[in-house]
Chain A
Amino acid sequence: MKRNGVFVCNCGVNIAGTVYVDKVVDEIAHYPSVKHCEFYDYMCSDPGQKKIEDAIKEKNLDGIIVACCSPTLHEETFRSATERGGLNKYSCEIANIREQCSWVHKDREKATEKAKSIIRGIIEKVNLNEDLDPIKVPVTKRALVIGAGVSGIQSALDIADSGYEVLLVEKSPTIGGHMAQLSETFPTLDCSQCILTPKMVAVSRHPRIKLMTMSEVVDVKGYVGNFQVTIKEHPRYVTDDCNLCGDCVKVCPQVTVNEFDRGLTLRRAIYIPFPQAVPAKYVLDDQTCLGLNPLRCDKCEKACDVGAIDYDMQPKFLTEHFGSIVVATGYDLYDISQIPEYGYDTYEDVIDGLQFERLLSASGPTKGEVRRPSDGKVPKEVVFIKCVGSRDPESHHPYCSKICCMYTGKHAMLYKHHVPEGQAYVFYMDIRSAGKDYEEFIQRATEEDRVMYIRGRVSKIYREGEKIMVWGVDTIAGKKVEIAADLVVLATAIVPREETIELAKKLRIPMGPNNFLKEAHPKLRPVETLSAGIYLAGAAQAPKDIPETVAQGSGASSKVAGLLSADELTHEPTVVRIKVEECNGCGICVNICPYEALTLDKEKGVAVVNDVLCEGCGTCAAACPSGASQLRNLTDAQIAKMLKEML
């Protein structure tokens, strides 16, 4: 039988003023298994802690119960004292008789009885406690960042600057993401590429960052500290010898739409996404190329003086180990062909926001002049429509895409800068300009640049001659509005990338209702996922603007650096244990666990716990019909015994 020591803290008068500690000690001293019982003024003081250490040695105790304040305050204190006394720290438990007893009652007799009950319960818990050691996991000191938009770039740079190796994986041929496509950024109107490209170059030059473009994660195994990730690198068909001369492009006979310009221009099968692309190499698009067959066409190979073209390049697979993963896979625009009334698919002069960014961009298809796609004329009347597919729970997406209010304001403003005599109309539902200097920016657009904001929705868009007719309503004036526009720009909803959904399954991280990746806690753990060691950055989690995205990239990297800074991870050992001989393999627990800590061993027909992933909530233990799943140090037996003795 356990030899327990019970220490009742007076806490000055905080406890002793309400609870008759002497009566408690008198009774508890005679409780079975209690070999030592005393009260003391302040147990948390040095002499108080010394009492525990001494009593353990003198009376050969192996269980310690301290009846004092809430365990959130001094559990660690007394467990350390217990450890110094030579016992396992889990042989010490706290009976909370201050916050949940002496401080909330006035009747001294009743409070004393309640304190005794609480202490009896905790004694029974200690009686059945096991000695536990913290779970230790070695850490691979490398990080993987998936996605090299601005959040991934920021994250990779910050991790690398903290001294850890980073592998940055990007699916497309260049890093930079959507930010590289933008013209100027709100609210300061600095040129997007001017602020982004230095970061891109920093990535390519950083000694601790390894960059893999045209690559994707195909398999993830392992857990925090020890992920094994398999990455597939698609062939680029252009080797590192490429010197960017561009001779290959001149001879390439195959043409396709240019994704970087969002279809506003065309490109060859061999191309570079944009001049500042990193890595600075051309790429051969094997879907557009005549077939990578020198017999059919070898024009680019012939044109290349340095012999950088290799038609025989094959996909490469490599498996690497990481301690931590940052997911920064970004966003896509909602497919607006789902909204036929806006005619995006029908009329060339109805474009989305990113296309308009390209039109505004100095390096874009019109060299920064605003010219409409159909006939290259400078549009004199431009209509911007917000919330296209957002905030529409009936037909499209229920959420707010967050950045459209600001970028539409910026679009209208920049348009007016380019075409001062033109008129910009913005159809809006609300203007959401919360953010540093954001409201002032919108005010500037309306007051200085005379952008006309119309509160209402657009019901129909159709072509009439050279004009695009926009039918809408001004809900403030209560009037129907009809505008003969030259160009219509739709602020399309932001959606998570389709690949992210697949990736989330591989990483075993949950998604929210709209397939955005889900954080561990919406307020307190916004960059963590429920899978320990996997963090989120950028718009894959929710629509975000650049400052937020960058901040989260940095946030994720500080989490990664914190994790990688330790040689070993320690984890609370109060996790679930599956008693194999009693487990039926029904799988109820496996479905319940939000941390994927439980798996079903189909062959043996039992559930298996991964101690490292288990957070110790015990929900599976309560669901297990046979009682095979038990939470260490809060087992069914403990609860049963506690109930019996407390009542």
Chain B
Amino acid sequence: MSEFEPKIVAFLCKWCSSAGADLAGVSRLEYKPNVIPIRVMCSGRVDPLFVLKALKEGADGVLVSGCHPGDCHYVQGNMFARRRFIILKKLLEFVGIHPDRFQVSWVSASEGTKFTKVIDDVVESVKALGPQTKFKKVGIDE
């Protein structure tokens, strides 16, 4: 059995973080392949239910990444997102799910290097936690 490789979903906002990820690509920066990106228009589009659903479907971790405060293409979508995410984080912790299972990061379109680091950090921290079994639906497997 090979070592545990976590599966992580990343919601990236189109204008900053997905563009930052593209920049990392263009710059041929290497990062870990465990994170599957989903492009959304704005981090504000990310309903906390997306995160719960991902965990339920067997994701070992979820990352949401959007524009830095003040840089949101839609002015303030990320600020609303921040409110929702902190509530979600507190609730997840309260029921005993490790806070690192759900992470948030601001990555701008020019931060290809930061994106790489964020991904590697997330993968590393989730890997340390081992497989996410608490929330995972039984019967979901390869």
A and B touch in the complex (CB under 8 A): yes
Question: In the bound complex, how far is the Cα of B57 from the Cα of A121, in angstroms?
Answer: 13
Given A100-B22, A121-B38, A619-B81, is A114 in contact with B44 using a C-beta cutoff of 8 Å? no
A647 touches B33 (CB 8 A): no
Q: Is A646 within 8 A of B36, CB to CB? A: yes
* Contact (Cβ within 8 A) B30 A618: no
Q: Is the CB of A622 within 8 A of B45?
A: yes
* Closest beta carbon of chain B to A228's beta carbon, Å: 26
Q: What is the size, in residues, of chain B's interface with A at 8 Å between Cβ atoms?
A: 45
Q: Which of B70-78, B89-97, B99-107 contacts A (4 or more CB under 8 A)?
A: B70-78
B25 touches A99 (CB 8 A): yes
- From DSSP, what is the main secondary structure of chain A's interface residues? helix
Q: Could you say which of A181-189, A315-323, A448-456, A636-644 contacts chain B? A: A636-644
**A104-B31, A121-B36, A636-B49 are known contacts. Are A619 and B44 too (CB-CB below 8 A)?**
yes
Decide yes or no whether B47 CB sits under 8 A from chain A: yes
Are A646 and B21 CB-contacts (below 8 A) given A103-B26, A594-B75? Answer: no
B86 proximity list for chain A (CB < 8 A): none
Contact in complex: B21, A100 (CB < 8 Å)? yes
Q: Is the CB of B45 within 8 A of A618?
A: yes
In the assembled complex, the Cα of A623 lies from the Cα of B50 at a distance in Å of: 12
- A118 contacts the other chain (CB 8 A): yes
Q: How far is the CA of A631 from the CA of B44 in the complex (A)?
A: 12
Contact with A along B42-77 (1 / 0, CB 8 A): 101111111001100111000000000000011111
A645 nearest CB neighbor, chain B only: B57
Q: How far is the CA of A639 from the CA of B64 in the complex (A)?
A: 14
Chain A interface residue count, Cβ-Cβ cutoff 8 angstroms: 44
Minimum CB–CB distance from A588 to chain B (whole Å) comes to 10
B19, B50, B59, B81 — most chain A CB neighbours (10 Å): B50
- CB contacts (< 8 Å) of A371 on chain B: these are none
Q: In the bound complex, what is the Cα–Cα distance between A634 and B29 (angstroms)?
A: 29
Q: With an 8 A cutoff between CB atoms, is B122 at the interface?
A: no
CB distance from A98 to the nearest CB of B (A): 6
Q: Is the CB of B44 within 8 A of A618?
A: yes
- Contact between chains at B26 and A96 (CB < 8 Å): no
What are the residues of chain A within 8 A of B48 when measuring CB–CB?
Answer: 622
Q: Which residues of A contact B59 (CB under 8 A)?
A: 643, 647
When chains A and B are docked, how far (Å) is the Cα of A530 from the Cα of B33? 38
Mask of B5-37 contacts with A, CB within 8 angstroms, 1/0: 101010000000011011011101111011011
Which residue of chain B has the shortest Cβ distance to A510 in the bound complex?
B75
Judge if A245 is at the interface, Cβ distance under 8 Å: no
B28 lies within 8 A of A594 (CB): no
Partner of A104, one of B18, B25, B50, B81: B25
A644–B84 touching, CB < 8 Å = no
CA distance A592 to B79 in the complex (A): 10
* Cα separation A621 to B46 with both chains bound (whole Å): 9
Q: Is the CB of B30 within 8 A of A594?
A: no
Can you list 26 A-B contacts (CB < 8 A)?
A70-B18, A72-B19, A72-B22, A104-B31, A105-B30, A106-B30, A114-B36, A592-B80, A594-B74, A617-B41, A617-B42, A617-B73, A618-B40, A618-B44, A619-B45, A619-B74, A622-B45, A622-B47, A622-B80, A631-B41, A639-B47, A643-B38, A643-B57, A646-B38, A647-B7, A647-B54
Task: Give the interface of A toward B (CB within 8 A).
Answer: 70-72, 96, 98-101, 103-107, 110-111, 113-114, 117-118, 121, 520-521, 530, 574, 592, 594, 615-619, 621-623, 631, 634, 636, 639-640, 642-644, 646-647
